[in-house]
Each structure stands twice: as C-alpha cells, then as structure tokens.
C-alpha cells in the first residue's frame, strides 16, 4: 500500500463539487487508515465486524509495554536521584561538576565550568568521568536492593 499515489476521482457532472470533494476526502482517509494498519498503528472504530480489522491483542500488548517502560523510566529516575545524593555526600567536586554540566539553566561547556572552578578543561573532563563511574556504581548498588 505504501508508495501508492491517491488519484482524485471525477464524478458525474450532475454531482456537485462539494460532494465530489467530500467523497474523495473519505476515500483518501480510508487509504490512509489502510496504510497505517499495514504499519500496525491504526485503530478502527465502528461496529463489531470492524473490530476484526484491528489486532486488539497487539494494541493491549503495546499499551502494556508502554506502561512497563514508563514504570522502568520512573524507577531509573529514582535510582539516579539516590545516586546523585550519595555522590553529593561522598564526592562534592564531581557532584558540582556534573550538576553544572547537565543540570544548569544554561548549557555550559567544560571550559566554562573549568574557569568557574579554576581548573583546566581536562580536569573537568576527568571529574565527569569519575562522576559517571561513581554514579554507575551507586545505581548498580541501589538496583540490587530492589
């Protein structure tokens, strides 16, 4: 279906232009829904015989997966918050650098962060690498607790 072009159908001259436009609009909408259905992303609404056109189990599975993904995302956010708190306690320089680099209101470069802290760009880069390693360690630790 994909790749086919829609052809505008000219109806009998006795049919008004408005009806002809509406008819072609409906035909194009049906073609569009069939294209989406081929991709597995169409929902058909109508009577019970139309329900067979939509794979309801696939829709339920997709919704369930989206819900599970959202729950996993929320869990990962909580783990990150805990890990950042622990990083703040144990390694304040790495915490400050990572907060400046990722969570500041303006996007700061490593050079700008280095100038603020009177350290080199390479020292900022090294602090970020250490922060990543610590965060990974903390997240693995907290994840094993669940």
Model pLDDT for residues 99-144, shown as the tens digit of each residue: 999 888 888 899 999 999 999 999 999 999 999 999 999 999 988 8
Which pTM was predicted? 0.55
Q: How far is CA 66 from the centre of its chain?
A: 10
Contacts of 110 (CB under 8 A, 6+ apart): 101, 121, 124, 125, 128
Model pLDDT for residues 8-64, shown as the tens digit of each residue: 777 778 878 888 888 888 888 888 777 776 666 555 555 555 555 555 666 667 778
pLDDT of residue 5: 65
Distance CA 99, CA 128 (A): 10
Distance CA 72, CA 78 (A): 10
pLDDT of residue 125: 94
pLDDT of residue 40: 61
pLDDT of residue 1: 42
DSSP 57: H
Model pLDDT for residues 48-104, shown as the tens digit of each residue: 555 555 556 666 677 788 888 888 888 888 999 999 999 999 999 999 999 999 888
Q: Which domains, and CATH codes, for the chain?
A: 17-54 (no CATH), 70-145 (1.10.10)
Distance CA 39, CA 33 (A): 10
């Amino acid at each position: 279906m994909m790749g086919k072009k829609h052809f505008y159908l000219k109806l009998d001259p006795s049919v008004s232009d408005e009806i002809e436009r509406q008819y072609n609009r409906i035909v194009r909408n049906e073609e569009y829904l069939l294209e989406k259905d081929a991709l597995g992303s169409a929902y058909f609404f109508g009577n019970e015989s139309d329900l067979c056109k939509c794979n309801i189990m696939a829709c339920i599975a997709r919704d369930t997966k989206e819900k599970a993904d959202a729950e996993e995302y929320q869990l990962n956010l909580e783990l990150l918050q805990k890990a950042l708190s622990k990083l703040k306690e144990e390694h304040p320089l790495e915490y400050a650098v990572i907060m400046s680099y990722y969570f500041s209101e303006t996007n700061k470069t490593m050079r700008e962060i280095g100038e603020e802290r009177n350290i080199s760009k390479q020292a900022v880069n090294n602090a970020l690498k250490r922060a990543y390693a610590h965060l990974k360690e903390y997240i693995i630790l907290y994840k094993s607790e669940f």
